Amino acid sequence: MEVARGLEGVLFTESRMCFIDGEKGRLYYFGYPIQELAEKSSFEEVTFLLLHGRLPKKEELEAFTRRLAQRRALPEPLLDSLRRYPREAHPMSILRTAVSELGLLDPTEGEITQEALYEKGLDLVARFATIVAANKRFREGKEPIPPREDLSHAANFLYMANGTEPSPEQARLMDAALILHAEHGFNASTFTAIAAFSTETDLYSAITAAVASLKGPRHGGANEAVMKMIQEIGSPERAREWVQKKLAQKERIMGMGHRVYKAFDPRAGVLERLARLVAEKHGHSKAYQILKIVEEEAGKVLNPRGIYPNVDFYSGVVYSDLGFGLEFFTPIFAVARISGWVGHILEYKALDNRLLRPDARYIGELDRPYIPLEAR
């Protein structure tokens, strides 16, 4: 049998949730183009779509939005724990630990019926934003701000994180960013969630595993690396020379290239427009200028090879404008992706939840003689 390195090209299940056309740069959630959803929808509506497989009617969306808003508050024991967590710890490590603790605090943790998974999934979608916002406040030496039920998910997240109610423009920026990151097929963290849940473990354990996977710099952590690249370049005037040097040394340009896309990542196209709005609002953001030069200069060499900006390339500029330091870029990713993780677990559970058990080609020796310890 041929070894599929990184499981590339291996089909292990069927799904209606996400279609990715890497050759043409297309992405769909349940058949809806991502560009259209990012422009016209809301995170709550997209979450309903990912959990139900269809867009809601008006009254359904209103009821669903209320249900999510009512679940935002965190249990007091978890807030107490968040106060005690080391402030210097990575926010993804804190999120991972907090999700695990939510399982400890749920007396019905082990229930994995479709109905129980759905209800627990709604709790997690609602509370991820509250956990990340509370951690940001504690990290700044401030007390967390209780959630408000009268704000949208995106607006409430910004309100809890920054202490002031966001402008409609800021709320829309965050809403679109969350939509773009909500789902992306069987990426590493989603596959990790499914692999864990296929053992019939509880939802909290599966999501904890997904958070741990997303933390890696080759997955969710890539957007942090892009901002570090911007900081290293320092000014637009240095960008071209910096890119030329990196390419000459055959080093990676962070935020460019994707395992799936051989064309421009459609999410990156939407985020580039959002980043441009941010730049115009602030009178030409230096970070945006640097990225545009990097994209242009690197593209001369990389585009012919099918390497283009991915979703991480411009997201950091948007998050930075919304008041977040780079250490919170990946947690924001998780605030969005939790809806996709839960949706996939619900779908896989309904399908057959077959235990994942891949194999490997053995390339070691056999029948090696055992040598006693004193004779080695």
Indicate if 219 belongs to the active site: yes
- CA 98 – CA 326 distance, rounded (Å): 20
3-class DSSP state of 77 = helix
One-letter amino acid at 233 equals: I
User: How is domain 18-217+326-351 classified at the CATH fold level?
Assistant: Citrate Synthase; domain 1 (1.10.580)
Judge whether 265 counts as a catalytic residue: no
Distance CA 185, CA 188 (A): 9
Neighbouring C-beta atoms of residue 4, cutoff 10 Å: 10
C-alpha distances in angstroms, 374 versus 57, 121, 209, 370? Answer: 75, 56, 42, 12
pLDDT of residue 202: 98
Q: Does domain 222-321 have CATH number 3.40.605.10?
A: no
Q: What are the residue boundaries of the structural domains of the chain, listed by start?
A: 18-217+326-351, 222-321
Q: Quote helix, strand, coil % in the chain, to nearest 5.
A: 60, 5, 35
Tell me what pLDDT residue 282 has.
Answer: 62
What type of residue is 20?
Answer: I
Burial per residue of 130-150, b for 16 or more beta-carbon CB atoms within 10 angstroms, e otherwise: bbbbbbbbbbeeeebbebeee
Return the pLDDT at 366: 96
Q: How far apart are CA 179 and CA 177, in angstroms?
A: 5
Verify whether residue 312 is a known catalytic residue.
yes
Spot the catalytic one: 258, 265, 321, 344: 258
Q: Pick from 3, 58, 92, 77: which is nearest to 330 by CA?
A: 92
Please report where in the chains the tokens 């949706």 appear, as a residue: 343
**pLDDT at 58 (0 to 100):** 97
Structural contact between residues 37 and 46, judged by C-beta atoms closer than 8 angstroms: yes
Q: What is the mean pLDDT of each run of 10 residues along the chain (376 residues)?
A: 84 94 92 96 98 98 98 98 95 98 98 98 98 97 97 98 94 94 95 97 98 89 84 94 94 85 86 84 77 92 89 86 91 97 97 92 94 96
